[in-house]
Amino acid sequence: MEEMTTIPRILDGIAIAGQIKAEVALEVQALAARGITPGLAVILVGEVPASQIYVRSKVKTCGELGIFSEMLTPPDSITTAEMLALVDDLNARDDIDGILIQLPLPKHVDTKRLLEAVAPDKDVDGFHPVNVGRLQSGQPGLAPCTPAGIMEILRRSGLPVAGQNAVVVGRSDIVGKPVAMMLLNASATVTVCHSKTPDLGKFTCAADILVAAIGRPGFVTAEMVKPGATLIDVGINRIVDPEEVAEFFPNDADRAATFAKRGSVVVGDIHPAAFAKAGAYTPVPGGVGALTIAMLMQNTVTAAKLRRGISHGIFQEKK
């Protein structure tokens, strides 16, 4: 008798992002009925093409959902002091609920100082030490967008988290550390691994939920994955070597066509061959990355509500 194989479930980040955006639009409408329009300010320094594309997408999404947005574009010659003054002005404005500083900043600008200058209640990136502390202690606040998106994928896909062995590969302040804390807060048993972890496969092979956020193309191989695991691939790595494309995507006509047209394709931190062993996985592209802007919109609305003492739901106010 032949052994039955299970087809891995693809976790569609684009569809889940669409659900979240639709919910945010309803929240914005309910706030509008009370005379409140959530506002997001984005600071984009200099002329970085990738950042410009990303910021335009954020501003466009704000318009689609009814969120007021303002883009500030100082030159890359701006000083740290001038940037701090800009942030102070936005902190004081009542029509701005969220402030986002698009990274990376020019090398001469003190990024850490600027991120800490953003008022915690307007920190829609969730990077301020106050919000990091709130996340660590399980208090409501503004959480980093990509990790929050990962948790939404798991929740909305009906995948269990409580009691699961979760392994996070990567320890960045932006993804690795916060997603580990969120998984822990959701009652998973969490192990954080990184580039200095010896015998990494010993840990990843025990993972029911494996989050790869290390920034290395195809770093997690099929041999490092537990059969039936949920694989969350945060990596977006652009590859331009035709031999690498053939190695990662053998016999993939669609990827070959994309490479022929653009001269590059993207691959995650998990080798595509590993997905065949998974119970469920996020594709690259179309997985975790699709959630980041949706969660930014959600954070902007959450900030608007929290700043006005509106909690839990649109019509529940703090006493």
- For the chain, what is the domain count? 2
Instruction: Examine residue 137 and state whether it is found in any structural domain, yes or no.
Output: no
The answer to whether residue 9 sits within a structural domain is no
**Rounded CA gap, 4 and 314, in Å?**
48
Q: Under a CB-based contact definition with an 8 Å cutoff, are residues 120 and 89 in contact?
A: no
Instruction: Please tell me whether residues 174 and 117 are part of one structural domain.
Output: no
Asked if residue 260 is part of any domain, the answer here is yes
Question: Do residues 158 and 284 share a domain?
Answer: yes
Last residue of a domain, one of 94, 129, 164: 129
The answer to the question of residue 195 being in a domain is yes
The verdict on 201 and 282 lying in the same domain is: yes
Residues 164 and 279 in one domain: yes
Domain boundary among 78, 98, 129: 129
Residue 138, pLDDT score = 86
- pLDDT of residue 314 exceeding 80, the answer is no
pLDDT band at 97 (very low <50, low <70, confident <90, very high): very high
Count of beta carbons in the 10 Å neighbourhood of residue 239: 18
Please check the confidence at residue 3 and state whether its pLDDT lies above 90.
Answer: no
- Determine the pLDDT at residue 316: 38
Give yes or no for a contact between 277 and 225, defined as CB atoms under 8 angstroms apart.
Answer: yes
Residue 263: band (very low, low, confident or very high) from pLDDT cuts 50, 70, 90: very high
Considering only CA atoms, which of 286, 57, 51 is closest in space to residue 153? Answer: 286
Judge if 150 and 282 occupy the same domain.
yes
Same domain membership, residue 272 and residue 178? yes
- Burial class of 109 by CB neighbour count within 10 A (0 to 12, 13 to 18, 19+): buried
Question: What pLDDT, in 10s, does the model give residues 297-309?
Answer: 999 999 999 999 8
Query: Would you say 13 and 282 are in contact if contact means Cβ atoms under 8 Å apart?
Result: yes
Confidence of residue 6 (pLDDT cuts 50, 70, 90): confident
- 276 with 157, same domain: the answer is yes
Is 285 found in the same domain as 163?
yes
The pLDDT, as a whole number, for residue 141 is: 85
CATH code of the domain containing 165: 3.40.50.720
Whether residues 217 and 276 share a domain: the answer is yes
- Domain membership flag for residue 307: no
**Whole-number average pLDDT of the chain:** 93
Q: How many Cα atoms occupy the beta-carbon half-sphere of 122 within 13 Å? A: 25
In a domain, residue 29? The reply is: no
| pLDDT for the residue 140 | 83
Q: Of 65, 99, 129, at which residue does a domain stop?
A: 129
DSSP string, 160-189: --TT-EEEEE---TTTHHHHHHHHHHTT-E
pLDDT in tens, 217-255: 999 999 999 999 999 999 999 999 999 999 999 989 999
Three-class SS string for 22-58?
HHHHHHHHHHHCCCCCCEEEEECCCCCHHHHHHHHHH
In a domain, 258, yes or no: yes
Kindly indicate the confidence band of residue 315, based on its pLDDT and cuts at 50, 70 and 90.
Answer: very low
pLDDT for 36 equals 96
Angle subtended at Cα 229 by Cα 234 and Cα 259, rounded to the nearest 5 degrees: 45
Do 199 and 234 sit in the same domain of this protein? yes
Instruction: Evaluate whether 232 touches 148 at the Cβ level (below 8 Å).
Output: no
| Same domain for 283 and 163 | yes
Name the residues annotated as catalytic: 58, 102, 125
Residue 297 lies in a domain: no
Per DSSP, helices labelled H in 10-167 are 13-32, 49-65, 80-92, 111-117, 129-136, 145-156
What are the structure tokens assigned to 18, written together? 């669409």
Q: Say if residue 257 is in the same domain as residue 205.
A: yes
- pLDDT, tens digit, for every residue of 130-185? 999 999 998 888 999 999 999 999 999 999 999 999 999 999 999 999 999 999 99
Contact (Cβ atoms closer than 8 angstroms) between residue 227 and residue 151: no
Tell me what pLDDT residue 195 has.
87
Q: Look at residue 5 in the predicted model and tell me its pLDDT.
A: 63
Give the residue numbers spanning the domain of 179: 145-291
Residue 319 predicted with pLDDT over 70 = no
Residues sharing a CB contact under 8 Å with residue 200, sequence separation 6 or more, in sequence order: 169, 193, 224
End-to-end CA distance of the chain: 66
